[in-house]
Chain A
Amino acid sequence: MATEHSRTAARLMVSPAVILLFLWMIVPLGMTIYFSFLRYNLLMPGMESWTGFDNYYYFITQHAFWDALVNTLLLVGGVLVITVVGGVALALLLDQPFKGQGIVRVMVIAPFFVMPTVSALVWKNMFMNPVNGMFAHIAKAFGLQPFDFLSHAPLASIILIVAWSWLPFATLILLTALQSLDREQMEAAEMDGASWLNRFIYLTVPHLTRSITVVVLIQTIFLLSVFAEILVTTNGGPGTASTNLPYLVYAQSLLNYDVGGGSAGGIIAVILANIVAIFLMRMIGKNLET
């Protein structure tokens, strides 16, 4: 129905967004790729030289890379398990009618709006600090030795902090999905004598599958680039115990001034994220068809 005239106008209106995003995608990424093939250290300006795949070789063969890769996967996997399992349980609970539903909902969602630096510092100091933290006080009250979370279990502690921030997101989306579940079908199954467990497995879970997939994929994208929580709690330490890929790239390029090596690490992070992205795009692409 659209006329030639309105088509041209439409194209003109889309173009600023497209051009800007295209530049944003191509210019810095192109520069990263270029840098990743250079021997380039910020402390030795003017000494840049072509080194081929050396940066990639050195980046991948250092111990820190494999530690960071494992930590990245543990962080993503750990947070996903906690938030999806917790989110389903919590969504099922909040979907029941009870007094003060609105208030409880607001309390559950709140952590999502807390900026990463605040949540990390609050947990680090007020809860996990081995001298004055809440957990230390509780341990002392029971006559136990306080546990130094961030020195002895740094990655697990960070997983806990990040999971706390993302649990509301999973809960909210799964709750939204649950509310579109067919009540009549549920009641019919109940009348026919289907047990709670059977109703859950054969009705609820299939209904939630799609939303769970969306939660997993979207969280993965954000979790692959967790940074602030690590920066303000452990600085990636002790050693590399809590260094993930983004933090390693940051440390190598901006703390050690190794632009070439950091760029190679950045490209590896991009490749890793793209593998995840392909799945997400398919998922959302399917949704567009309907």
Chain B
Amino acid sequence: MSRKTTATRQAVVTVAAWTIGFLIFFPILWTIILSFKSEGDAIKAPLDVLTSTWSLESYHEVQERSNYLKHFWNSVVLSLGSTLLALLIAIPAAWSMAFVPGKRTKDLLMWMLSTKMMPAVGVLVPMYLMFRDFGLLDTRIGLVVVLTLINLPIVVWMLYTYFKEIPGEILEAARMDGANLRSEILYILTPMAVPGIASTLLLNVILAWNEAFWTLQLTTSNAAPLTQFIASYSSPEGLFYAKLSAASTMAIAPILILGWFSQKQLVRGLTFGAVK
């Protein structure tokens, strides 16, 4: 009796979970399917779409029409550049806060977090005017700086929570053995900190890749990453479903794959260590 109910229950759970999972994923799946169809077939009724011929035509057209690779490269430069720059600034800061905490370390961390609370529209006008006056509009360097600054608090926090888990006794032992600050960092901390740094890097590349406020406001074409490139499809021209699908698939595929690897870090990073 009880075995039977368990089996039924498991079957119900399996069916329900798969159905809901499929429905949530469906918009992405459908976009991928449409990207392999011709323009004429893509707007047909769903069942006719599935039975129509498959082709790579839209992918060729997207690249020819709008130079997809340029925008892809911009996204890579912006997300990786801003993340590396943020790590360069944040690693020493997080290191010292985790291992040489002072009286104000906690306040400092909370203050850093508070800068993240400022909504972007609050500084939209001066940022836009400064970018205009310094000739930074639509340049990659300007955007790298902005993306670095908006992600810096998250980077510091994530690194801090990871560094905190490295046992301090190891450092003391090393110090007793006469290791100086430099070798302490180089030979003891770095190897232990690499996994945390890698997770931080991964999460921040994802966040920067998908950032869609500053990239939309401060770029038009030359420095435009994929967020802006896709937004250009919102014009009536965007009714070319197959091309929009192909462009969208190419824009989300790299980060979707990276994202699946970073599920755990995502929770930790986005909750500032409040949920692990």
Task: Spell out A's residues near B (CB within 8 Å).
Answer: 1-2, 6-7, 9-11, 13-14, 16-18, 20-21, 24-25, 27-29, 31-32, 35, 90, 93-94, 96-101, 103-127, 129, 132, 134, 137-138, 140-141, 164, 167-169, 172-173, 176-177, 210-211, 214, 218, 221, 224-225, 227-228, 231-233, 245-246, 249-250, 253-254, 259, 262-263, 265-267, 269-270, 272-274, 276-277, 280-281, 283-285, 287-288
Contacts and interface: CB of A to CB of B under 8 A. Distances in A.
A250 B121 contact: yes
B117 A277 contact: yes
Nearest to B107: A285
B245 A9 contact: no
A76 to B, nearest CB: 12
A116 B248 CA distance: 11
Interface in B196-231: 206, 209-210, 212-213, 216-217, 226-228, 230-231
Interface stretch (B58-66, B125-133, B186-194): B125-133
A98 B17 contact: yes
Interface in B80-121: 89-90, 92-93, 95-97, 99-100, 102, 106, 108-110, 112-121
A97 B274 CA distance: 26
A98 to B, nearest CB: 4
A284 B121 contact: no
Contact of A29 (B118, B238, B270): B118
From B31, B258, B273, residue with most partner A Cβ within 10 Å: B31
B24 A107 contact: yes
B239 A17 contact: no
A25 B181 CA distance: 32
The secondary-structure label for the interface of chain B is helix
From A121, A138, A218, A277, residue with most partner B Cβ within 10 Å: A121
B210 to A, nearest CB: 4
A122 B27 contact: yes
A117 B227 contact: yes
Contact of B210 (A113, A173, A245, A280): A113
Contact of A266 (B20, B100, B123, B274): B123
B13 interface: yes
Contact of A265 (B93, B121, B256): B121
B240 to A, nearest CB: 9
Nearest to B23: A107
Given A109-B259, A227-B212, A285 B96 contact: no
Contacts, number: 308
A134 B251 CA distance: 22
Contact of B27 (A106, A111, A277): A111
B260 interface: yes
28 contacts: A14-B108, A18-B112, A29-B122, A29-B123, A31-B130, A90-B20, A99-B14, A104-B17, A105-B21, A112-B259, A113-B256, A115-B226, A115-B252, A118-B31, A124-B234, A125-B238, A125-B239, A134-B30, A134-B46, A141-B45, A172-B266, A214-B275, A225-B119, A227-B121, A228-B227, A273-B119, A281-B114, A285-B110
A177 B267 CA distance: 10
A93 to B, nearest CB: 5
A7 B145 CA distance: 29
A121 B213 contact: no
B124 A253 contact: yes
Contacts of A246: 119-121, 213
B18 interface: yes
A126 B245 contact: yes
B252 A118 contact: yes
A172 B267 contact: yes
B28 interface: yes
Contact of A225 (B16, B113, B213): B213
A248 to B, nearest CB: 9
Contacts of A125: 238-239, 241, 244
A112 B258 CA distance: 12
Contacts of A262: 124-125
Nearest to A228: B212
A218 B271 contact: yes
Nearest to A258: B125
Given A122-B31, A246-B213, A273-B118, 7 more contacts: A24-B149, A28-B123, A28-B127, A96-B13, A116-B227, A227-B216, A263-B126
